[in-house]
Structure 1
Amino acid sequence: MIIKRTPQAASPLASWLSYLENLHSKTIDLGLERVSQVAARLGVLKPAPFVFTVAGTNGKGTTCRTLESILMAAGYKVGVYSSPHLVRYTERVRVQGQELPESAHTASFAEIESARGDISLTYFEYGTLSALWLFKQAQLDVVILEVGLGGRLDATNIVDADVAVVTSIALDHTDWLGPDRESIGREKAGIFRSEKPAIVGEPEMPSTIADVAQEKGALLQRRGVEWNYSVTDHDWAFSDAHGTLENLPLPLVPQPNAATALAALRASGLEVSENAIRDGIASAILPGRFQIVSESPRVIFDVAHNPHAAEYLTGRMKALPKNGRVLAVIGMLHDKDIAGTLAWLKSVVDDWYCAPLEGRAVPRQNNCLSIWVTANH
């Protein structure tokens, strides 16, 4: 259903989302000029005294969640903007770890609609402005922004990050970001700022990231160089210029992402106790990331949608004891590397079930998935 009339602040969230989906001529329209103009009118370019911006092919969500968990344990008032959502649009904005009511989102949409005038915005740009407006109203200490696509031209990059993070670099969204890791690295490093820490969790960092850091005058901090970590069966240790933290609790999120979050936190200069770090790491968890929702039978939810993520998922699967056949229910958008992603999972999956999705995935994605499964089963 297409909503042609402009909704009001009291209109249902579903009406607003339908309106936003059809507001702009392009689903993705990278660039900062339009969204920056509206942000300036709203006064949301500085949503909190301190801002982390997190980019990367994979690992953004769990890195953001770990930062959020530690900072909340330390007593800070924290807001997080992430995308996409799994079930509800309201998942995209968290304040103190909680989703806001739908009425808060519709009120923010009405403010943006009033401020934008004749400036057209994409669904994501509108959502980003909404998050910034909601954070501003909440009077937060820290805001954590997860980049939607790339970095340099992503709507989140209208905000100057106090600490910028690049979690990982792999091939995804190549139509938009470039055909290789070097091109993608340059785009993601576009969130770096002069004289501000730039944390890189990718162990095989493309040289373009260092190039951008030098061009911008950012303070590059690389995994394996300025900071590092080591893991045992029972705990892990982290080291950087500030010293070493030992006997840290093993995280429930992927280890590299927890370590990257800790590197960003320690580079921030924010006052956080060691107890808060330990408590935050131990409690950080995010739905859809190797989420075991049942043990009998074992049911796992995971949002892996590119070869890099599928490689990690396959490793986690192989570490589990196998009892019986492994059935995979999978749906992917047609612009993803279906063959490259499923090739990793082939070694741990016995039977495939291709599920339909809405939007960009219909009807082409079912054909692509079915063709691959038929040819490789």
Structure 2
Amino acid sequence: MPPVIPELPKTVEDWLGYIESLHPKSIEMGLGRVQTVANRLQLKFPFTVITVGGTNGKGSTCAMLERIYTLSGYRVGCYTSPHLLHYQERVRFNGEEIADGQLCEAFAAVEQARADITLTYFEMGTLAALWAFEQAPLDVVVLEVGLGGRLDAVNIVDADCAIVTNVDLDHMEFLGDTRELIGREKAGIYRQQQIAICGDANPPASLLLYASSLGVTLNRFGIDYQIDVSDTQKAHYRDAHGQLDIGSLSLFGRYQWNNAANVMFAVRSLHDRLPVAEAQLLQALTGTEVTGRFQYWHRSPDVILDVAHNPHAARALRDNLQRLSVEGGKVIAVFSMLSDKDIASVVDILHDVIDEWHVAPIQHPRAASIDFLQACLTPYVSPQHIYPYADLAAALQSAYKKAAKNDKIIVFGSFFTVAAILELTPDQWAL
């Protein structure tokens, strides 16, 4: 039973503490509860909706879409998760975080509507975001799937355009332990007679079969649209609407070009209802930045932040680190992950491109302990190259002291790992 409270919380922090206590589980798959409360809230979704699912690349894809439509003069809502430092990062209007008063009002509306229905933290947050979006006159809303797709809370909305960025292994305890099982869950965001996009060049058969069963025209990366990237990090994009040359992206990594291609196809497919000038499309794409996506946080020595936390993201991170190897110097990891992630596979993918591992536990109930992190590292990494610490601040401080000016310090393993570093002031680590 949810706790009895004499009156509604007054601040965002109080609301977050309250909604965390409502449900015994942080995740409970299913749309029934959310749909019932959405009906009570009389949500109509009177705007164009783009839903973004997939294993990795969702945040970057949402950021590109948000920037494109904002720069084009549209009124844009964007809902993403998780956040790094402040919950308000999840709900944005025209690129700006929701005001505290608006967020509290939205939580109060959902609380009143849910009555005896128990919602998870994510479900409450999703409904609050959708309610807040309906209070403002918006033209387009971008929704990021939290987990999976078919049974994720955002999937109560019938998207006008649905993008699955890619399909790989993650959240296997909820989605299944094969790409085929996970692909079916991801494909659940597609709708009949709406735009369906798959950014995976080799999608699971289950995703293709589900799209076919709906009768949707599935637009596939590498078939219906393509992007060729040159060694100078410029790209040539083409689809049935024509060709376009793109300058370098602010986001680092070849995989970001795939995200950009998915976005370009979506924007061009929606052109009849949301026209975007070519110049604004290019300006927005090349200028998009996202915190924690191979983000340069400090220079000389370089400190790079990356939220990579599964094998697919680790392979992308490996590609980025190999591209940096031509600059010389060591690669030093500041590393921590949650215990329910595939730590061994991530280490296996990256161990031969990282010279030193400075490890510490995340301050989180699901954090991997320092002993567990070391146990996952030792089959792949020599013990003299593993340095354990009590916390991430100490790990970064030590890595920084040891680094030469041309070395690279890569902080990765979780959103929580990156968030812990972002909260530090220079005098806490750069001594």
Counterpart-to-counterpart distance in 2, 1:324 and 1:339: 25
What is the aligned partner in structure 1 of residue 390 from structure 2? none
Counterpart-to-counterpart distance in 1, 2:148 and 2:104: 27
What is the aligned partner in structure 2 of residue 354 from structure 1? 359
Figure out how many residues of one structure are paired with residues of the other and give that number: 372
Residues 181-222 of structure 1 deviation map (CA, whole Å, 9 limit, x = unaligned): 111111000000001111011111111111111111222100
- Assess if the C-alpha contact under 8 Å between 1:6 and 1:19 holds in 2: no
Counterpart-to-counterpart distance in 1, 2:90 and 2:332: 30
Equivalent residue of 2:304, what SS? strand
User: Is structure 2 residue 270 aligned with structure 1 residue 272?
Assistant: no
What is the aligned partner in structure 2 of residue 61 from structure 1? 59
Counterpart-to-counterpart distance in 2, 1:104 and 1:286: 24
Give the ranges of 4+ consecutive aligned residues of structure 1 lying more than 4 Å apart after TM superposition.
7-10
Counterpart-to-counterpart distance in 1, 2:340 and 2:44: 32
Pairing 1:85-100 to 2, within 5 Å after superposition:
85-100=83-98
Q: Using CA pairs under 8 Å that are at least 6 residues apart, name the structure with larger relative contact order, 1 or 2.
A: 1
Identical aligned residues as a percent: 45
- Assess if the C-alpha contact under 8 Å between 1:7 and 1:15 holds in 2: no
What is the aligned partner in structure 1 of residue 388 from structure 2? none
Unmatched tracts of structure 1, length 5 or more? none
User: Is structure 2 residue 301 aligned with structure 1 residue 297?
Assistant: yes
Q: CA deviation at 1:22?
A: 1.5
Residues 305-362 of structure 1 deviation map (CA, whole Å, 9 limit, x = unaligned): 0011011111111111454432211121111100111212212222212222233424
Pairing 1:149-164 to 2, within 5 Å after superposition:
149-164=147-162
Counterpart-to-counterpart distance in 1, 2:6 and 2:93: 25
Match of 1:119 among 113, 117, 120: 117
Match of 1:128 among 119, 126, 129: 126
What is the aligned partner in structure 1 of residue 16 from structure 2? 17
Counterpart-to-counterpart distance in 2, 1:6 and 1:106: 16
Q: CA deviation at 1:26?
A: 1.6
Q: CA deviation at 1:4?
A: 4.1
Q: TM-score, normalised by structure 2?
A: 0.83
User: Structure 2 counterpart of 1:266, which letter?
Assistant: R
Equivalent residue of 1:300, what SS? strand
Equivalent residue of 2:29, what SS? coil
Residues 103-154 of structure 1 deviation map (CA, whole Å, 9 limit, x = unaligned): 2211111111111010000000001001101111121100000000000000
- Assess if the C-alpha contact under 8 Å between 1:307 and 1:341 holds in 2: yes
Counterpart-to-counterpart distance in 1, 2:240 and 2:123: 37
- Assess if the C-alpha contact under 8 Å between 1:57 and 1:172 holds in 2: yes
CA RMSD in angstroms comes to 1.6
Deviates more, 1:65-74 or 1:28-37: 65-74
Counterpart-to-counterpart distance in 2, 1:7 and 1:179: 44
Deviates more, 1:298-307 or 1:315-324: 315-324
Q: CA deviation at 1:367?
A: 3.0
Match of 2:314 among 310, 316, 330: 310
- Assess if the C-alpha contact under 8 Å between 1:290 and 1:302 holds in 2: yes
What is the aligned partner in structure 2 of residue 206 from structure 1? 204
- Assess if the C-alpha contact under 8 Å between 1:27 and 1:123 holds in 2: yes
Equivalent residue of 1:361, what SS? coil
- Assess if the C-alpha contact under 8 Å between 1:227 and 1:263 holds in 2: yes
Residues 233-272 of structure 1 deviation map (CA, whole Å, 9 limit, x = unaligned): 2521211121111x21222231111111111111223211
- Assess if the C-alpha contact under 8 Å between 2:344 and 2:377 holds in 1: no
Q: TM-score, normalised by structure 1?
A: 0.95
- Assess if the C-alpha contact under 8 Å between 1:199 and 1:260 holds in 2: yes
Counterpart-to-counterpart distance in 2, 1:39 and 1:241: 38
Q: 1:12 to 1:5 in 2, by over 3 A?
A: farther
Match of 2:344 among 339, 342, 345: 339
Residues 276-325 of structure 1 deviation map (CA, whole Å, 9 limit, x = unaligned): 11111111110000000111110000000001101111111111145443
User: Structure 1 counterpart of 2:336, which letter?
Assistant: G
- Assess if the C-alpha contact under 8 Å between 1:10 and 1:107 holds in 2: no
Q: 1:189 to 1:290 in 2, by over 3 A?
A: same
Counterpart-to-counterpart distance in 1, 2:265 and 2:219: 8
What is the aligned partner in structure 2 of residue 35 from structure 1? 34
Equivalent residue of 1:67, what SS? helix
Q: CA deviation at 1:40?
A: 1.2
User: Structure 1 counterpart of 2:310, which letter?
Assistant: N
User: Is structure 2 residue 262 aligned with structure 1 residue 260?
Assistant: yes
Equivalent residue of 2:237, what SS? strand
Equivalent residue of 2:103, what SS? helix
Counterpart-to-counterpart distance in 1, 2:6 and 2:196: 40
What is the aligned partner in structure 1 of residue 137 from structure 2? 139
- Assess if the C-alpha contact under 8 Å between 2:334 and 2:359 holds in 1: yes
User: Structure 2 counterpart of 1:195, which letter?
Assistant: Q
From the CA coordinates, give the structure whose radius of gyration is larger. Answer: 2
Counterpart-to-counterpart distance in 2, 1:6 and 1:228: 55
Deviates more, 1:323-332 or 1:207-216: 323-332
Q: CA deviation at 1:43?
A: 2.1
- Assess if the C-alpha contact under 8 Å between 1:16 and 1:106 holds in 2: yes
- Assess if the C-alpha contact under 8 Å between 2:9 and 2:15 holds in 1: no
What is the aligned partner in structure 1 of residue 225 from structure 2? 227
Q: CA deviation at 1:365?
A: 4.0
Pairing 1:283-294 to 2, within 5 Å after superposition:
283-294=287-298
What is the aligned partner in structure 1 of residue 375 from structure 2? 371
